[in-house]
């Protein structure tokens, strides 16, 4: 039997685990078939034969108790291990489809054991039964999560940097860090899909740490080659990350390890998180005490409470690209002018997102907007290309 953190190959006739073994993980059967049996005295009783898409070993992991059955491969099998932490997170998941699938599998196994032992199945609340299509979706999410863990472990996530321009000085002042993932079978996976998946679990924490380490390495390289002024990097932080008490300590340690200053990091918090005022206020205070800047991302998308903004000391407001793209409309231009003026009155810098034309850039500069970000300035670039771009004096007269 061949075992790794992300794949288990079991030849036909081999035993995956024995009854009474201590559990290490549950498994998702990808291919092949496995017979599950349980010993009753001197007799062995078959619980069933599992095929692709079935879970096994989950009860021992959930109960943290010895295996209650033996699993033997009837043919060559490939399985994906699911560790205790991942399994528990999925049971607590807000995703009703994934949770329903896991609960239905657990219920099925408990029923089989109860029938074999001659006991009545214990009464339980009615569980949602996933439709066949839902089950496939849930299994795909579990599978994709495991592949994402593997990609993170192997360093296969690609970090890209989108440049941010200091408009008045016409020079690159910093970057926003973005993550890309090319799945070996599916090809490029949308960030909206895999980042959301990571945020459903604790995966978003190591992903964020990985991204910062990669970006700091690039900035360290740039500084080592004589860059006159230190560049900053903006990093999006999720609600789950904000709840991690050790987050800032790890971020500061990463900055120190690469010879960077805390002021070179900007943490971006989305408008939706501002609704949790107490948590965000505490995070901002801790960041400022450490010398880290904080930006309010996607400003103007509908969540902001202006009454909170005057109490939350953001260093930067990032104006949503929807306003910038409609600046040709006089009413929208008036809104942009008002947002810039408000940012100035709050002592905040402002970044205009979605800048795609020279006309937009010129108008923003005339309004006093500090920074611009968008395809005119540069698309998200691999680390090496971003470093090269930052050495240019400005964007010239390029159109995207």
Q: What is the pLDDT of residue 351?
A: 97
Between residues 120 and 318, the one the model is more confident about: 318
pLDDT (mean) for 130-153: 75
Q: How confident is the model at residue 394 (pLDDT cuts 50, 70, 90)?
A: low
Would the pLDDT of 246 be above 50? yes
The ranges assigned to domains in the chain are 2-135, 155-390
The pLDDT tens digits for 66-104 are 998 999 999 999 998 888 777 777 666 655 555 555 555
Q: What is the pLDDT of residue 264?
A: 93
pTM of the entire predicted model: 0.77
Kindly give, in sequence order, each residue whose CB lies less than 8 Å from that of residue 362, ignoring residues fewer than 6 positions away.
none
Q: What is the pLDDT of residue 244?
A: 87
Cβ count near 2 (within 10 Å): 9
Q: What is the pLDDT of residue 273?
A: 77
Kindly give, in sequence order, each residue whose CB lies less than 8 Å from that of residue 302, ignoring residues fewer than 6 positions away.
271
Whole-angstrom distance, CA of residue 55 vs CA of residue 66: 17
Would the pLDDT of 167 be above 80? yes
Positive or negative torsion for Cα 386, 392, 394, 400: negative
The pLDDT tens digits for 256-288 are 999 999 999 999 998 777 777 888 889 999 999
Report percent pLDDT > 70 for the chain: 81
Beta bridge partners of residue 236, listed in sequence order: 268
Whole-angstrom distance, CA of residue 141 vs CA of residue 147: 10
Would the pLDDT of 129 be above 60? no
Name the DSSP class of 394.
Answer: -
**Dihedral, CA of residue 80, residue 84, residue 85 and residue 87, to nearest 10:** 60
The two tokens of residue 201 are 């679990």
Name the DSSP class of 67.
Answer: -
Q: What is the pLDDT of residue 25?
A: 87
The pLDDT tens digits for 179-207 are 999 998 889 999 989 998 888 878 899 99
- Does 2-135 match 155-390 in CATH topology? no
Nearest by Cα to 179 from 169, 168, 188: 188
Q: What is the pLDDT of residue 261?
A: 93
The residue count for the chain: 400
Name the DSSP class of 125.
Answer: P
Whole-angstrom distance, CA of residue 165 vs CA of residue 176: 11
Q: What is the pLDDT of residue 398?
A: 46
pLDDT (mean) for 369-374: 97
Q: What is the pLDDT of residue 63?
A: 78
CATH of domain 2-135: 2.60.120.10
Between residues 307 and 303, the one the model is more confident about: 307
CATH of domain 155-390: 3.20.20.450
Q: What is the pLDDT of residue 111?
A: 56
Kindly give, in sequence order, each residue whose CB lies less than 8 Å from that of residue 304, ignoring residues fewer than 6 positions away.
271, 274, 296
Between residues 131 and 115, the one the model is more confident about: 115
Kindly give, in sequence order, each residue whose CB lies less than 8 Å from that of residue 274, ignoring residues fewer than 6 positions away.
280, 296, 303, 304, 305, 308, 312
Mean pLDDT, the chain, integer: 83
């Amino acid at each position: 039997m061949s075992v790794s953190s992300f794949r288990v190959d079991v030849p036909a006739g081999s035993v995956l685990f024995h009854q009474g073994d201590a559990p290490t993980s549950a498994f998702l059967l990808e291919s092949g078939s496995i017979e599950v049996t349980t010993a009753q005295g001197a007799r062995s009783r078959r619980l069933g034969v599992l095929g692709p898409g079935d879970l096994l070993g989950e009860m021992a992991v959930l109960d943290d108790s010895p295996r209650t059955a033996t699993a033997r491969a009837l043919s060559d099998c490939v399985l994906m291990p699911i560790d205790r932490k991942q399994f528990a997170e999925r049971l607590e998941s807000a995703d009703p489809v994934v949770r329903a699938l896991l609960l239905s599998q657990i219920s099925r196994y408990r029923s089989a054991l109860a029938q074999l032992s001659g006991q009545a199945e214990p009464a339980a609340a009615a569980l949602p039964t996933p439709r066949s299509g839902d089950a496939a979706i849930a299994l795909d999410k579990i599978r994709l999560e495991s592949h994402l863990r593997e990609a993170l472990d192997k360093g296969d996530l690609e970090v890209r940097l989108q440049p941010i321009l200091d408009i008045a000085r016409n020079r690159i002042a910093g970057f926003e860090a973005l993550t890309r993932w090319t799945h070996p079978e599916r090809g490029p996976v949308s960030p909206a899909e895999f980042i959301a998946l990571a945020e459903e679990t604790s995966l978003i924490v190591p992903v964020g740490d990985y991204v910062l380490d990669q970006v700091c390495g690039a900035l360290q390289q740039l500084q080592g080659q004589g860059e006159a002024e230190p560049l900053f990097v903006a990093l999006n932080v999720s609600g789950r990350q904000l709840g991690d008490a050790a987050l800032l300590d790890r971020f500061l340690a990463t900055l120190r390890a690469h010879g960077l200053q805390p002021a070179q990091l900007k943490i971006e918090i989305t408008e939706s998180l501002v609704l949790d005022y107490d948590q965000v206020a505490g995070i901002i205070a801790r960041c400022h005490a450490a010398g880290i800047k904080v930006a309010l991302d996607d400003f103007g998308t509908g969540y902001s409470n202006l009454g909170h903004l005057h109490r939350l000391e953001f260093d930067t407001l990032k104006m949503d690209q929807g306003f910038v793209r409609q600046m040709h409309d006089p009413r929208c231009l008036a809104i942009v002018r008002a947002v810039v003026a408000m940012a100035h009155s709050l002592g905040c810098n402002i970044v205009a997102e979605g800048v795609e034309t020279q006309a937009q850039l010129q108008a923003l500069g005339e309004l006093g907007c500090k920074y611009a970000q968008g395809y005119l300035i540069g698309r998200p670039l691999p680390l090496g290309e971003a470093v090269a771009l930052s050495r240019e004096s400005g964007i010239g007269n390029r159109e995207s």
